[in-house]
Amino acid sequence: MLYLTGSTLFLFSIYPMANSSKKIKEIGEDLLIKRITKNLTLGKDVMAGAGDDCAVIKSNDPQSYMLLKIDSVIEGIHYVKSTPPSAVGYKALSRAISDIAAMGGTPKHAMIGLSLRPNCNVSYVTSLYNGLSKASSPYNISIVGGETTNCSKNGTQSVTISLTGEVRKDLCCFRSKGRSGQSLFVTGKLGKSINGRHLSFTPRIEEAQWLTRNFKIRAMMDLSDGLASDLPRLAKSSNCGYSIDTNKIPRARGASIDEALCDGEDYELLFAISSKDCNKLKASWRKKFPNLTLTRIGKLSPKGTEDPDLEGGWQHF
Amino acid sequence: MLYLTGSTLFLFSIYPMANSSKKIKEIGEDLLIKRITKNLTLGKDVMAGAGDDCAVIKSNDPQSYMLLKIDSVIEGIHYVKSTPPSAVGYKALSRAISDIAAMGGTPKHAMIGLSLRPNCNVSYVTSLYNGLSKASSPYNISIVGGETTNCSKNGTQSVTISLTGEVRKDLCCFRSKGRSGQSLFVTGKLGKSINGRHLSFTPRIEEAQWLTRNFKIRAMMDLSDGLASDLPRLAKSSNCGYSIDTNKIPRARGASIDEALCDGEDYELLFAISSKDCNKLKASWRKKFPNLTLTRIGKLSPKGTEDPDLEGGWQHF
């Protein structure tokens, strides 16, 4: 992910002054984004472009925004050659759905771009579509188009998803809407997703919609690159710091604190909520989602007070 | 292109009974589409899914449809390694814009998926975005998001475009709306696009919108794979045959009839119009677009009367 930071694929070490003869793996993501976007003009209907889980667009409906997302899974990075194609399809679409969830939205229409080797079996493609169908069905997402391209005989296969969504304007969550003093929560348990969860997770659509409809939650994101990468992003977007107790981070079975912070691909929700609503939220959540943990991990704080100063997260290069 | 046939990348010879152990390059595109789409459920808001230039979706605005398109350009197929990156970006987005034009629509928001080798220069990416910007500017398209993925050191680079658009319901063009007896027209001149036009063409947005607003035109497509591929598609979608005079096909300088039929990447418009409107159309067009030819090449006829029975077009495998 280049400049929608929801699921960053290029996470480079950052040089303050990159020049054009640098390789993309050598310069920082932030600088690359800056260069790419500086000459682009956005229409007045664009409420959020680069930098959130989805792009947010004013629609013809005065009550709602349109959400737009593009996201890819790559062989060798997000799955391996031996991963069943149905799992690849399921994961590819579910990742994009998770980003729609992070805005408080409802997914609507998907288009699928496949990059395949020419000797790929027909059965691989049909199984992959079975996986896409499994991911789309619970949300009545219509798969309305697709494209398959030849990545060459020895090339790397990939699945690119373009997904639209919609969200009620007053319920749309942005990373930038957190405020110092708000409590930070995460759903579920983090770390060790490589053991299988990264292929079979359930996007938190239902939970996100329940949260935004029942509580005043305006800052949210999904955890794709690991809390150690993603929390600082949310805090920075909101012009805040943060203070968390790493011992409180909910860990998947067998995961260390470090793995819970850095493994990535959790696809859980991270959100901020007024601290006075914490107790009510916890009680209501237990009743509504008895099988999914909800954990207060800390709070947003004034800018410059990042405690601990997190590093790490999912590095692709 | 797998099942939006606007810019087909997999054009295989067609076997009537392909089985799953076949490679994708061995079975027909139509059969592959059939297999992939048979288990997919489309919402009632989907007016057109697979099989037209764009997907057409009912929006919250009762007057207009939303258009959705995904399209890729691939190194070695749509451009070569030495193609200037600004031309690659321009071409990639312009192809998708051309598909919006073919529906009579207005392009709105784009997302960009780049697949790049990790040793790619930053300057390559910024130049590519300059090309995207050059393509988007005339139409005030907002580039609202993007993703860059690593195609591996020796992989094939590509640019995938996801583009939205909108179109007035009563002006939306479908491939299926042609009627036997209607005259067939093409804009511009065909063939030899490889000489440079495929990198520098102007999508026919202005012409398409003028056509649909001033004449009753409901069947239209853009010519991406060559008239020999694309005309039979339009005719088949409309449940028609066709009768054309191949000598009348407008040819680019130096192009043979065969090249005009089969080279592809013309990005001109092919449309059907009531034959009684032909003279008025020709006169108005000359006045409005004096520098772009408009040619009547024949007509739609009853199904089964394809004359000549065209074969060929852009074959990627």
Q: What is the mean pLDDT of chain B?
A: 88
Tokens standing for B292?
A: 């772009």
Phi, psi of A114 (to 5 degrees): -105, 135
Question: Which pLDDT score, from 0 to 100, does residue B163 have?
Answer: 97
- Which of A88-102, B48-62, B276-290, B302-316 shows the lowest mean pLDDT across its residues? B302-316
Interface test with B, best of A20, A80, A121, A143 (most B CBs within 10 A): A143
- Contact flag A55-B111 (C-beta cutoff 8 Å): yes
Residue whose token pair is 């006169």:
B283
Q: What is the pLDDT of residue B131?
A: 96
Contact list, B26 vs chain A (CB under 8 Å) = 122
Which residue is closest to B48 within chain A, CA to CA? Answer: A144
pLDDT at position A15 is 30
Q: Which segments of chain A have a pLDDT < 50?
A: 1-19, 315-317
Residue-range domains of chain A with CATH: 1-41 (no CATH), 44-170 (3.30.1330.10), 175-302 (3.90.650.10)
Mean pLDDT confidence for B86-94:
98
Query: So what's the pLDDT on residue B5?
Result: 32
Q: Is residue B307 predicted with pLDDT exceeding 80? A: yes
* B109-165 confidence digits (pLDDT tens): 999 999 888 888 889 999 999 999 999 999 999 999 888 888 888 888 999 999 999
Amino acid A312: pLDDT: 66
pLDDT for residue B15 is more than 70:
no
Give the per-residue pLDDT at A313: 60
What was the pLDDT predicted at A3?
34
Instruction: Identify which of B10, B115, B142 has the shortest CB distance to residue A46.
Output: B142
Q: Find chain A residues with C-beta within 8 A of B19's C-beta.
A: 122
Strand order, beta sheet including B158-168: B46-48, B55-58, B64-74, B158-168, B106-116, B142-150
Q: Strand, helix or coil at B115?
A: strand
Listed in sequence order, the residues at least 6 apart from A110 whose beta carbon sits closer than 8 Å to its beta carbon are: A93, A96, A132, A136, A141, A142, A143, A144, A161, A162, A163, A164
Confidence (pLDDT) at A102: 97
Question: How many angstroms separate the CA of residue B14 from the nearest CA in chain A?
Answer: 14
Q: How far is A125 from chain B (nearest CA, A)?
A: 7
Which residue in B has a C-alpha nearest to residue A8's C-alpha? B147
**Closest B-chain CA to A144:** B49
Q: How confident is the model at residue B61 (pLDDT cuts 50, 70, 90)?
A: confident
> What ipTM is given for this predicted complex?
0.87
Q: What is the pLDDT of residue A24?
A: 78
At A28 the pLDDT is 62
Nearest alpha carbon to residue B53 among B269, B313, B302, B301: B269
Cβ neighbours of residue A148 under 8 Å, at least 6 residues apart?
Answer: A113, A114, A115, A116, A125, B1, B2, B9, B10, B24
Q: Do B50 and A144 touch (CB under 8 A)?
A: yes
Indicate whether B16 pLDDT > 50.
Answer: no
Q: Which of B45, B54, B151 sits opposite A156 (nearest CB)?
A: B151
Instruction: Over range B56-82, report the average pLDDT.
Output: 93
Least confident of A169-183, B44-58, B296-310: B44-58
Of residues B289 and A19, the one with the higher pLDDT is: B289
- The nearest CA of chain B is from the CA of A142 a distance in Å of 5
What are the residue ranges of helices labelled H in chain B? Answer: 29-37, 85-102, 122-136, 197-200, 205-214, 227-237, 257-262, 278-288
User: Cis link prior to B250 (omega < 30° from 0)?
Assistant: no
Question: Would you call B55 and A133 a contact, using CB atoms and an 8 Å cutoff?
Answer: no
pLDDT single digits (tens) A34-58:
778 777 888 999 988 777 889 999 9
Task: Check pLDDT > 50 for residue B203.
Answer: yes
Query: Which residue is associated with the tokens 């805040």?
Result: A240
